[in-house]
Structure formats: C-alpha cells, structure tokens
Structure 1
Amino acid sequence: MTAVGRRHPWRSTQVVRGHYGTSAPLIYRGGMAPPKILLELDLAAGLLEAPPADPLAAWRARSTPALADIVRRLRDARERDEVVGLVAHIGGSEVDPSQAEELGAAVEAFAAAGKPTVCWAEAFGETGNGTVDYHLAAHFDEIWLQPSGGLALVGFAAQGVFARDALDRLGVEPQFRMRKEYKNAPDTVLRQSMSDAQREATQRLTDGMTDAVVTTVARRRSLDADVVRAVVADAPLTAEEAKARGLVDRVGYRDEVYEELNRRAGVELEQRYVHRWSPPRRAVMERRLRHELPRRLGRSRPNTIAVVPVVGGIMLGRSGGSPVMGRTAGSETICAALRAAREADDVGAVVLRVVSPGGSYTASDAVHREVQRLRETGRPVVASMGSVAASGGYFVAMGADEIVALPSTVTGSIGVFAGKLVVRSALEKVGVAREVVSTGEQAAMWSANQPFTDDELVRLDRWLDEVYADFTQKAAAGRGMAIEELEPLARGRVWTGTDAKERGLVDRLGGMEAALAEAARRARLDLDDADIVRYPHASPLSRLRAPAHSDAPNAALAAPSLGALDLLTGAASPEALLGRLAATAGVGVGALRLPPGIISH
C-alpha cells in the first residue's frame, strides 16, 4: 500500500503544538495550517442499523455509530482534501455479515478516492468465530494484528433450537400449521430435531455465506480461492501464521499502528471518529444554496430521496421496541411515512430500507399497499435489504420497482404459519383450573386453555391457504413471473441474497449506497447533490405537540421504549404473558416470520 505514504503539500511543515484526539487546529511554524484529519472507526460496540427514532433509545445508543450514518459520512469524506485516511478497530465487534459487506463496500469506495485505509485488531476471534470481523477487515488496504492475537476465519455455523420435549414435560401443547415444508419457524416448538427441509435450506445458507467471504478475501488479498478455503479448513491461525499465509500485512500493537500512520504522513494527524466528523459548514451551505436558489426562482425539481425504514418485527400500530422484545416496525408508522413521501413535492424517489424477519400478515399487506400507491405517482421505489428481509420483510419489499440485496442477506421465506400454545395441562400441574364460557362458535378459538376443534382446524387451514395464495400471487406480480415459476421458489424457503438474485427474487446485489444510486438514476437525480431524508421526519418541537390528524408528521413516530417492563405490559393473563415469551422464540409475532438467530458467527 502506497497511498498512506504519498507526499502532501504540508508534509515538510514542523509541528510546534498538537496532540491526538483534539479538535483544535494544529499550530505550525509560519502560522496556522488546516489540520489533516485521520478518520477513526471503532466497531467494538457494534453498529446500529439506523439511529433510533425514539429519543430515549437514541440517548441510550449515543455512543454506537449507525451504519447509514457511517456510509454517508465516508461518501462525503471522499471529496474532502483535509481527510487523509481511515483507521478502524475491528476485532471483537458485533457487526453482522451483511453490515460487514455494506460497510466494506463504503471503505473500498473511500480508498478508491485515494484515501488510504488501515484496520487493526487484537484478535479476529480470540475464543470464538472471527469470520465476520475478518471479512470486514479484508476490505481495507492494510490489516494489522496484535502479536498475541489470532485469526479464526472458520466459516459459519447454524443451529436450530427445539423445545418440544421441554413443552411436553411442562404440559404445554403446541398447535401450529404452516405453508409449506420450508416454513420452519414453528419447528422450534413442534419438533425435537431438524427436519430434512430445514437442514437442506440451512446448509445452503451457511455454504453461501462462507462462499461470499472466500470470494471477497481472495479478491482483496490477491489470493486464489482454494488458498483461502485451505485457511478456513486450518483456522484458527496465530498472528505470524496469518501473516505468512498472506491474510495479515503487519503484526503489531495499536500504538505501533498510529505511530506508523503519522510517520508515513510526515505530520501528526488529527483524529476524528467518522460519526463525529462532518464537512465544513461552508461546504454544507454551498450545497444548500444550490438547491435553495432554483426553488425560490420556481425552477426546482424534486431533489429529495426519502428513506423509509422497516426495521424489526412487522406489527400493526406504531414502530417501537425494547431491549427485551426487540425493535418493531409498526405498519402505522411505515404507512404514514410512505404517505408523507407521496404527498411531498420535493421527493423524487423513495428507498425502502428493510431489515426484518417478518411478522404480521395484515401489517405487511398494509405496507405493500402504500408502496403500490406511491409507485402510481410515477416516483420510483427501491427496496434495500439489510441482514434479513424475509417472510413479511420480503412481502413489503416485493412490490418495489427494484430490489437490492447484499450477498449475505437472508431473504425469501415466502410462506405462512399460525397456531397457538395450549397451556391447560401446564396450569393444572400447578393447581390452576380455568373454565371458558363463550357465545359464538369460534369465540374461544384462540384461547390457550383449549385445543383447536376439528372445525377450527379446517378454518385455520383455509385461512393459511388464502394467505399463501395471496403472498405468492403478489410476489409473482411484483417479480414479473408466472405463478408456476415463482411457487417452487416459495414454500417458505429462505435464500441468501446471491441465491435470490440468481432465481429472480431480487434484482441486484449491493447495499444502501447501491439502492440510493439506483433510486437517483430512476428519478434522474444527481446522487451527490440529492438530499437524503429519513421519513417519518418531525422537528423536535413537533414531537412534543399532539398530532392534528392521522397524516401529521408527528402522528406515527416511534413509541417510546419501556425496557424490561415491555415484557409484562398488558400481560394480564397467562395467555398474554406466554404470547410475549413465545414472541422471543419467533413463533408469536404474526404469520409471516422467520425463526430467530439461526446463523452464528
């Protein structure tokens, strides 16, 4: 790597005062010189998918950078002469596979602009799996590893959790039906081992994700793919072994990394976290004036790309969530944001950012409807898939003009399931008896106190068939396929983004930047000059006011988080509490959902 050591006009100046981590200008002989900034990225605390919309959650996560924010700021920094490079601390991060791919692409683009990139780690998986961390590191020009560290580039593992025996012992009877054989979320409570269909699909997921890592590492390290596969087979490696096999450039400690970067630059660099850096105010004002003058003269055209997030389990109501129940994507919030984007004169295109394992069928269908209404105005909608956009997550995305997924995105799962956990026997074991009195043949159909009757099972099966038919027909229409072509790709099966693209379920591979570029192209906008605005958007003052109507900007903002209290809120009955506990196992949050956490890394 030579970019770090390139000669700058300020290289021969001599530092009189200055130190790491200051935001004050450095003083040089001959007067004040503009600081040269080395951007820093510390991923030890992981990455947020996006800044929380809830102010309380945002305050809690104030020290954790957001992926979208990091990518945007790296794009801005490519054009700034005062930014001379990027250094990242990666080892021990909580970055997931798709975030590694998306952030890695932004790092490569930053380096392509002539900005050197260096990363360092104490270890890539000291006593665990370092595959994802190293996958991200491979996108940097230079990799440093601490002498006592190692490289656990071991691939991916997947697991299924099965609790049928435990439920039988407790006296809890699971009653679930699914469409079809690959829709395996209920297997967590229905089975005590992995089905052949689940094993087949899960094996393909781990194979595909490992293939993606091998391909990237081979390309970036100029190695043959078979050499990288041999490393995967032999790992974990020591630091010296990793260097000898071409996976690491330098073995050294953090202080040696920074000393070397300053030595190459010939000047003590000013460090700044990427998420704390922004372009100079003058540059921002110039950009705003380029938009404001045509608007005042009546010659402006839509120049905004609205980004609407669908992050978390999809549910009816407002978006929200908590550390216990996880983040939720409320259809009320998402639909209001899509309506606001449709009514805004300055919005030329919309990017639907989907990071969701699915959830409610009716909530997903409501979002799908608003996507269609937005497209009817002639404005393009591009879906950008993150780590997972499956089941209900695929449902909301499939009607977009274009779907962009990352190679490791878990998507598809076009299928449906429904059912309940019957707790009557469990309650009887602890001396609790309950009787149900109802008016109406199906009034107690979903009661956890009694099993489904034969007639209720017929009705449940009929509803599942209707949902599956609606899902597959809308997916076929959205993808421009005949139903006979799409249905074999459905059946509840999950795919990686790479496999989904090969089968026509997504259009292209890429991250949020690729989705924004496609949205700008379709709207005939210059992405560098476009305003990228997160919807729903409301000023801090409007958040404090009561909404005037259902389409007001502050009408459908995220509900505040209540932390652990969310688990018990509203759980006034055993069914309610059991339902909330089942939600954490992935079998209680709607008919269109994946099982949780099948991939470990």
Structure 2
Amino acid sequence: MAILLELDLTRGVLETPPASPVAAFRARHLPTLRELVAALRKGARDDAVAGVVAHLGGQRLSLAQVQDLREAVADFRTSGKPAVAWTESFGEGGSGTVAYYLATAFDEIWVQPSGDIGITGVSVQAVFIRGALDKAGVIPQLAKRREYKTAADTFTEKEMTAPAREMASRLAESAYEQIVEGIAVRRRLDTARVRELVDSAPLHAQAGLDAGLVDSLGYRSNVYDELQKQLGYDSRLLAERYIRRGPRTLQDVRKTLPWPQKPLVAVVRVSGGITVGRNSSSPFGGPGSGSDTVGAALRAVGENDKVKAVVLRVDSPGGSYVASDAIRNEVLRLRSTGRPVIASMGSVAASGGYFVAMPADVIVAQPGTITGSIGVLTGKGVVRDALARIGISQEAVSEGTNARMYSAQEEFTDDQWARLEETLDRIYKDFVAKAAQDRGLPEEQLEALARGRVWTGADAHARKLVDELGGFQHALTLACNRAGLDRDEIGLASVPHRNLLDQLRAPRTTDDLAVTTQPLTLDGVTSSIYAALGLPPTGLLTMPLSWQLS
C-alpha cells in the first residue's frame, strides 16, 4: 500500500518535547524537529512511501531548523521519490524569505494563484526598553564584558551602539548570503538575479512563476490531485505519526528486538536557560537545563558500557556561569573515558550554550545557527521607585556591609560596583582561557573572536569556533564513525529519560534526584515584578535574547 508522507510545517516545530504536563498538552500536536528529520530519512528507504508533500507558511522556523529540514529533504530526494512543497502564500503582509528558502529544497513548489512570493530579505532587530524603564522608575545597573555583549544594551540603551550595529549587520549579511546561495543553486539562477528578485519582492504568484521561483500555481486540491495521478497513493500520513507507529514488516520487527544487543549512541540535551540544580520548566513555557540533571546524565552515560558515543545536543542561549562550567567539566570527564563526544548545535548555542559545547571532540552547527557570544554580563535593575509608585515598599534589617548588594531595592555602592567589575574580569578571563584551551587556539586569537560577539554558524566555522557545518544527523554520523559503528546498526538513547513510574519512585541517590524536573518558581512579589520587567538575567553567561532574525 503506497503512502504519501505529509509535513505540516505551518504549526511550527519543537526542538525538545515539553517537560511539563501543561506545556505538553498545549503542544500535543506539534512534531519535534528530530521526528521530522528521522521520518524523511526512514521514508526514503521505505518502499511503502511513495513521496512527500509539505505545507509551508504560518509559524516561523529558525534558519538553523530550516537548514536541518533542507538536508533531510535532500536526503529523501536521493531515493528518486518526489518531494513537493505548497503554500497559500510565502508571506501575506509579512516576510516569507525563510519559508521560501525551505521550499527550494523540494522538487516542486506550488503557490496558490492569489498568493505572493514575499522573499523580501533578512532583517535583524533589537528591542530596547530603557525609555520604558525610565518612565517606570527602574534604574538599570548592568555591566558587561565586552562591547558586543548586547544583552545589557536592551536595558541600558535606547538604540544600537556602534559595536551592536556592526554585529547585527554581519549577522544579517551572513544569513542573507546563505539564503541567496541556497535559492540560486536549487532554482538554477545566478545569485545576482536572486538578489534582484529579492529587491523587487514581494512578487505576485504569476510573477514568481514567470521568474522561475515557483513551478506551478494551484490550490491545495490541485496539488493533491496531481500527486494522486503521479503516484497513485492509497493513503496519507503525517510524518510524525509515520515515525511513531510500531513495526509493520519483519525487518521492522527485527530492528526492535532486544537481541542481538546493539551498541548505543546516547543523546544528551542542553535546552533552554542553563541553571544550577535540576532541570526546570514553566507550566506554559519551554524547558530549562540544570547542571545537576545534565551532569547526572553525562555521568550515567560514562558508566554505561553499552554506550559507545555521545551526541550533546545544545539549543540554549546560556545562563549561569557556574552551572555551565559544571557541565563542561562533566563533558571533559566523559571524553576521558575514550568515548567520542560530538556537540550538535540547534538554533542557538551561545554564551553558556557555547561554554558547554566547546570541550566536545567535534562541534557541528548549521550555517544559520546563532553561536559564540563569549562574554559575560551581570547587574540588577533597581525597582524601588517603580514599586513605590504603585504603593509597594520593602524594609530590611541586615548584618554585613554587602548583605543587600544584590537587592533590587537599592543601588550598588562604589565599592560594590568595583567588586562587580572584578567578578566580570575574572569570569571573562576564565571563559576565554577555557575556550582557547578547548578549541586549540592561542588565547589572544580567541579573545579577538570573543568580546561577547554573536556569530552565525557559517562565520563561527570560518573562525574555528565550530568544526563542521551540518545538523543532528551529520553529528550522529560523525559520532558513529569515530566510534567505529555502523550508522544503521545502532540504538539511539535519549538521556536522561524517565517514564512516569520512574518519576514516582523515591530517589535513592543524588543522581536519581537530579534527573527529576522541578517547576520554575519565583520568590516574592518583588521578584515577580522584577521578572516581568525582564531584568533578572538567568545567569552571567547569557546571550542577547532580544535579537530577532526575520
């Protein structure tokens, strides 16, 4: 029975399955990126799969996610099976550049006759709330190392500084180069011609057809009617349902048998903000990575003789310095066992996210990954006057000159500010030294690449901050090759993974306790308002979260 695989990318894609029950319920119909990539890889080798059709548009995907999917579609196309993309419009009153870039990976592109080809280019935006803080009576007191560590600028500036503008310009330029090159190669157009079309966009669907940007105009029913004629498929199935379903053939059954035992490749994830302690998650938000949980997972992997290689999947903007350092140490300990550790960067692996990845044997990133940001920031926002305006006050009795140093109720003294500057210098020096050691670069060369600067994966690769360009599947292949394993004869284990029964059992050791997820909590009224303003950093190693690529 012939199956037509369907990818509905209008809903968005998850990097990591939600950790909390509420978040899982809200995202219950969303596929993970790994599921979609695995489905395309499996479908290419499955005689029952006749082809794939993808619905594009809607929720934005990151450039790195799109590049992962482009690679998976290219792999699927090597099977000779058709891959078709369709959309109502590549942008309707908005940019459709990244969605169209993804579409060019397919054999055919269909657009609704009333749609547009909104390949309007790339823009990097930054948000500044200093003016709002001034009006609210919040006093931002933040310091950074060095000039490109622009997370602090969100709160201290009203516009881009010269270093921030320089960095943003290169981020946009690098992303634009990647997109233009990808479109040119797949649509068999000169890059200069692609740039001309971008500058004249948005284009009406017919103009896109005439320019060779799309292959056919038609509605959804036209796309499926044409595929039915070509393939004569018997049924349709969402890609994530296809990869989740049980074995259907004797060969599938053989692959699921517990014998003969296959060597394992472990996947350890570092997702979201990096904090001290256990993994945490908001009921409505994404996951966070605790150093206790990730460290326990890395130790468990090191103690399991069946695990022959490890992929460290990092999708994190960073966070706590000490937590990142603790995870880095566990990565080094794991490497000392002789197992290859390959770091696979997702959409973002910057600041603390780069810190935990840099000691791996090989760092793999997509050209569009956001990485680097080797720098540090710290400080606070003084909300005393803001709270007073709404009738909230706080008093404290303290012992110790610096007992209230980090209080959001009062400014730093000159002596406290000097101590803060010393802390920044110490941490920045340590970050640079360890990055230079891990990457095998002279410290002065690494420092020139650091300074808090964010790079695309392509630029990071050119500067040896990243070793190879590619997605998770490429990282997995590298791990297998380094461990002498057959890529098709391994077991893949996500660590830590605890089912409901495991979570209900009382922990016996601190490692058992570490792999449980703790809820994210806020302590007190002041902390809640402070967090609502976006002021408390998740840690000293945090990238500029306000940057947005569109």
2:113 is aligned to 147
Q: In the alignment, is residue 86 of structure 1 matched against residue 52 of structure 2?
A: yes
Number of residues of Structure 1 aligned to a counterpart in Structure 2: 547
Q: Deviations over 1:273-329 (max 9, x none)?
A: 11111452522321245x723x4xxxxxx7111111111111122223236554312
- Pairing 1:561-580 to 2, within 5 Å after superposition: 569-574=521-526, 576-580=527-531
Question: C-alpha root-mean-square deviation of aligned residues, in Å?
Answer: 1.7
- Tell me how far apart the structure 2 counterparts of residues 527 and 582 of structure 1 sit (CA, whole Å): 48
- Work out which of the residue numbers 192, 203, 227 in structure 1 matches 2:193: 227
- Tell me how far apart the structure 1 counterparts of residues 547 and 522 of structure 2 sit (CA, whole Å): 29
Q: In the alignment, is residue 272 of structure 1 matched against residue 237 of structure 2?
A: yes
Q: Deviations over 1:479-515 (max 9, x none)?
A: 0011011000000000000000000000011010111
Change (3 A) 1:446 1:324: farther
Q: In the alignment, is residue 450 of structure 1 matched against residue 404 of structure 2?
A: no
Q: Deviations over 1:140-173 (max 9, x none)?
A: 1110000011111111112221122222222211
Return structure 1 stretches of 4+ with deviation > 6 angstroms.
Answer: none
- Pairing 1:155-554 to 2, within 5 Å after superposition: 155-265=121-231, 267-278=232-243, 280-289=248-257, 292-293=259-260, 295=261, 303-322=263-282, 326-552=286-512
- Tell me how far apart the structure 2 counterparts of residues 195 and 490 of structure 1 sit (CA, whole Å): 17
Paired letter, 2:30 = T
Q: Secondary structure at the match of 1:474?
A: helix
Paired letter, 2:253 = M
CA contact (8 A) 2:293 2:515 kept: yes
- Tell me how far apart the structure 1 counterparts of residues 484 and 132 of structure 2 sit (CA, whole Å): 58
Q: Secondary structure at the match of 1:373?
A: helix
- Tell me how far apart the structure 1 counterparts of residues 525 and 87 of structure 2 sit (CA, whole Å): 49
Q: Secondary structure at the match of 2:288?
A: strand
- Tell me how far apart the structure 1 counterparts of residues 185 and 490 of structure 2 sit (CA, whole Å): 32
CA contact (8 A) 2:372 2:454 kept: yes
- Tell me how far apart the structure 2 counterparts of residues 73 and 398 of structure 1 sit (CA, whole Å): 30
Displacement, 1:50? 2.4
TM-score, reference length from structure 1: 0.88
TM-score, reference length from structure 2: 0.96
Paired letter, 1:494 = V
Unaligned runs of 5+ in 1: 1-34, 296-301, 561-565
Change (3 A) 1:58 1:433: closer
Identity of aligned residues (%): 49
CA contact (8 A) 1:143 1:250 kept: yes
Paired letter, 1:42 = D
Q: Secondary structure at the match of 1:286?
A: helix
Q: Deviations over 1:237-290 (max 9, x none)?
A: 01111111111000001101011011112x24311111111452522321245x
Q: Secondary structure at the match of 1:389?
A: strand
- Please say which of residues 95-104 and 279-288 is displaced more in the overlay: 279-288
CA contact (8 A) 2:53 2:85 kept: yes
Q: Secondary structure at the match of 2:287?
A: strand
Q: Deviations over 1:13-62 (max 9, x none)?
A: xxxxxxxxxxxxxxxxxxxxxx1011001011100002224444333322
Change (3 A) 1:432 1:72: closer
- Tell me how far apart the structure 1 counterparts of residues 331 and 392 of structure 2 sit (CA, whole Å): 48
- Tell me how far apart the structure 2 counterparts of residues 103 and 466 of structure 1 sit (CA, whole Å): 41
CA contact (8 A) 2:267 2:311 kept: yes
- Work out which of the residue numbers 503, 507, 516 in structure 2 matches 1:557: 516
Paired letter, 2:259 = E
Q: Secondary structure at the match of 1:573?
A: helix
CA contact (8 A) 1:53 1:557 kept: no
CA contact (8 A) 1:54 1:559 kept: no
Paired letter, 2:484 = R
- Pairing 1:104-115 to 2, within 5 Å after superposition: 104-115=70-81
CA contact (8 A) 1:582 1:588 kept: no
Displacement, 1:335? 1.2
Q: Deviations over 1:556-593 (max 9, x none)?
A: 13335xxxxx6xx434231x11342244x6x5211111
Displacement, 1:546? 1.9
- Tell me how far apart the structure 2 counterparts of residues 93 and 422 of structure 1 sit (CA, whole Å): 36
Displacement, 1:209? 0.6
CA contact (8 A) 1:579 1:588 kept: no
Change (3 A) 1:194 1:337: same
- Tell me how far apart the structure 2 counterparts of residues 127 and 322 of structure 1 sit (CA, whole Å): 33
